[in-house]
A and B are shown apart, each in its own frame.
Chain A
């Protein structure tokens, strides 16, 4: 894989592609380099379109060690040359890891335990106030202020809430008992909360969080949270209280949502039973199906996915379900979805893998697809899922990806598209021995192109 390419080899390739003699290309490149050098000397920066930027940076005088003698020495001020590739190039280089994303480390040892405790007590308090709210202003429509930011904070809402909700949506009307039980679970906490915070839950909670810090615990407050917080800085307290308010809003919102979705699921259940022979129903399939049937006639390929458009309450549920289900999805290797309006293979791949360039994998998995550039909203689609750890591809996955690229290669080749050779190249990237898996005629010139890139 990583081999050294000599300058003369480079010259040879470039000469061939640009249809000049080797001698000319060699001299031209030499001159190119010297022009870069001059540019660095005169301007301190050289920008080459499509590739990157050379920069001269001044490094100040600093102390250092001589690694051989361990002696301290003074490194004089000097210039250093840095090269910063363009974003496109960086992304191309990083392609093998592009599907991976930073992950939160759950138990961070540096974080004080107190914060967690505080959050727990705070959360239960928030739930209390939320249930109070439910009782007092039962059918009042939720204020939009709470709804908007809440989307961002979905992952922080208590997970148990999601699970319960999922159960109730999945099993539909049968579980109305459980639903009541769930509500009953929330209410018992109510009597314990003091009446003061019950009357005006939201403003009160923020004041309560803040007070102990401001008065620096001069008055011994009877709440346990007050004592704990002495060691925590002001901004953290503010942040925490803000978070708690949001969680309270989210929890309340979801409890309302369950009522709505239950009615919906009654309707959806009948259609689902009719259309779906597989018993293996994904929870988030229902909402998307609702959408799809609503926009049955919509054409497929559009540039912007309008998934963010808030429509019905049911659609909003897609988001929490996705996060809640990520464990479940990992276990199955194929996710059966219904194509939504505005979705493209590219966008689906981006949502599923974090790397839109893997879309041929989906194409290759779905035999009935013809034109890789056209998918029809409302049709079912099998989305293969990576089975390696951390959403990464294992050997059989990359074989599948390679086959997908071969399928797209074949299509583009049949339709005389220039893209074909790039897809062959990508296929080779994911699986070395293309000939073993190729069920299509591979053009020699294209194969040469793919091999050259290795």
Chain B
């Protein structure tokens, strides 16, 4: 499902124009990325918890240069799906792959 389909559905459900539904969605995305950038974490019910974590710098082998490299630390988004969602989808047979 892509953003257009998502916006379609939301606009239909709430009797909004697509532009309006999109605007709310964009606001939502902007708000949460701002929070993530600031290092805050938050939970969205039924979906999961978003946060950031820092990966330590580590040694890694670069096959191209055939040498070991020290990779710098990295801050990444950490997503933990909510339990309900996980259980719902855990045993779902996937036929679309």
A residues sitting closer than 8 Å to B (CB atoms) are 1-7, 9-10, 13-14, 17-18, 20, 25, 28-37, 39-52, 56, 58, 78-83, 85, 89-90, 92-97, 100-105, 108, 110-111, 390, 452-454
Contact pattern, B 24-42, Cβ under 8 Å of A = 1, otherwise 0: 1111111111111111111
Chain B nearest Cβ from A352, distance in angstroms: 17
How many angstroms between the C-alpha atoms of A277 and B41 in the bound complex? 54
A31-B10, A93-B75, A94-B74 are known contacts. Are A49 and B3 too (CB-CB below 8 A)?
yes
CB distance A95 to B37 under 8 Å? yes
**A30: contacting residue among B1, B42, B46, CB under 8 A:** B46
When C-beta atoms are compared, the residue in chain B nearest to A425 turns out to be: B34
**B26: contacting residue among A32, A39, A50, A454, CB under 8 A:** A50
CB distance A36 to B47 under 8 Å? yes
A31-B13, A36-B6, A108-B67 are known contacts. Are A41 and B88 too (CB-CB below 8 A)?
yes
How many angstroms between the C-alpha atoms of A306 and B95 in the bound complex? 51
B46 proximity list for chain A (CB < 8 A): 30, 33-34, 37
CB distance A78 to B90 under 8 Å? yes
B51 proximity list for chain A (CB < 8 A): 2
Decide yes or no whether B76 CB sits under 8 A from chain A.
yes
- Provide a sorted-by-A list of 5 A–B residue pairs whose CB atoms are within 8 angstroms: A85-B77, A93-B52, A94-B74, A104-B69, A453-B38
B residues sitting closer than 8 Å to A (CB atoms) are 1-3, 5-6, 9-10, 13-14, 23-48, 50-52, 54, 59-60, 62, 65-77, 79, 81, 85-86, 88-92, 94, 96-97
**A5: contacting residue among B30, B35, B67, B74, CB under 8 A:** B35
When C-beta atoms are compared, the residue in chain A nearest to B34 turns out to be: A453
A32 proximity list for chain B (CB < 8 A): 6, 10, 25, 28
CB distance B36 to A89 under 8 Å? yes
CB distance A90 to B24 under 8 Å? no
CB distance A105 to B59 under 8 Å? yes
How many angstroms between the C-alpha atoms of A323 and B90 in the bound complex? 53
CB distance B85 to A94 under 8 Å? no
**B5: contacting residue among A39, A79, A83, CB under 8 A:** A39
Known contacts A47-B2, A103-B70; can you find 7 more A-B pairs with CB under 8 A? A14-B31, A44-B96, A52-B77, A56-B89, A79-B92, A81-B48, A102-B69
B75 proximity list for chain A (CB < 8 A): 93-97
CB distance B86 to A81 under 8 Å? yes
CB distance A58 to B97 under 8 Å? yes
CB distance A10 to B32 under 8 Å? yes
CB distance A35 to B40 under 8 Å? no
Q: From DSSP, what is the main secondary structure of chain B's interface residues?
A: mixed
A31-B14, A37-B88 are known contacts. Are A105 and B70 too (CB-CB below 8 A)?
yes
B33 proximity list for chain A (CB < 8 A): 50-51, 89, 92
Chain B nearest Cβ from A375, distance in angstroms: 28
How many angstroms between the C-alpha atoms of A319 and B29 in the bound complex? 42
Chain B nearest Cβ from A95, distance in angstroms: 7
When C-beta atoms are compared, the residue in chain B nearest to A6 turns out to be: B42
B67 proximity list for chain A (CB < 8 A): 104-105, 108, 111
A34 proximity list for chain B (CB < 8 A): 46
When C-beta atoms are compared, the residue in chain A nearest to B77 turns out to be: A85
When C-beta atoms are compared, the residue in chain A nearest to B3 turns out to be: A49
Chain A nearest Cβ from B69, distance in angstroms: 4
B23 proximity list for chain A (CB < 8 A): 18
CB distance A39 to B71 under 8 Å? no
When C-beta atoms are compared, the residue in chain A nearest to B43 turns out to be: A7
Chain A nearest Cβ from B92, distance in angstroms: 6
Chain B nearest Cβ from A229, distance in angstroms: 16
How many angstroms between the C-alpha atoms of A94 and B75 in the bound complex? 5
**A83: contacting residue among B10, B27, B79, CB under 8 A:** B79
CB distance B86 to A20 under 8 Å? no
Chain B nearest Cβ from A217, distance in angstroms: 23
How many angstroms between the C-alpha atoms of A440 and B74 in the bound complex? 34
CB distance B42 to A48 under 8 Å? no
CB distance B94 to A14 under 8 Å? no
CB distance A45 to B1 under 8 Å? yes
How many angstroms between the C-alpha atoms of A89 and B37 in the bound complex? 8
How many angstroms between the C-alpha atoms of A108 and B62 in the bound complex? 12
How many angstroms between the C-alpha atoms of A26 and B16 in the bound complex? 15
A31-B13, A93-B52, A103-B69 are known contacts. Are A17 and B27 too (CB-CB below 8 A)?
yes
Chain A nearest Cβ from B76, distance in angstroms: 6
How many angstroms between the C-alpha atoms of A108 and B5 in the bound complex? 52
A7-B45, A89-B36, A105-B68 are known contacts. Are A82 and B79 too (CB-CB below 8 A)?
yes
B86 proximity list for chain A (CB < 8 A): 80-81
CB distance B24 to A28 under 8 Å? yes
A43 proximity list for chain B (CB < 8 A): 1, 96
B66 proximity list for chain A (CB < 8 A): 111
How many angstroms between the C-alpha atoms of A419 and B43 in the bound complex? 30
B47 proximity list for chain A (CB < 8 A): 33, 36-37
A10-B31, A85-B77, A89-B36 are known contacts. Are A39 and B14 too (CB-CB below 8 A)?
no
A39 proximity list for chain B (CB < 8 A): 1, 5-6
Chain A nearest Cβ from B24, distance in angstroms: 5
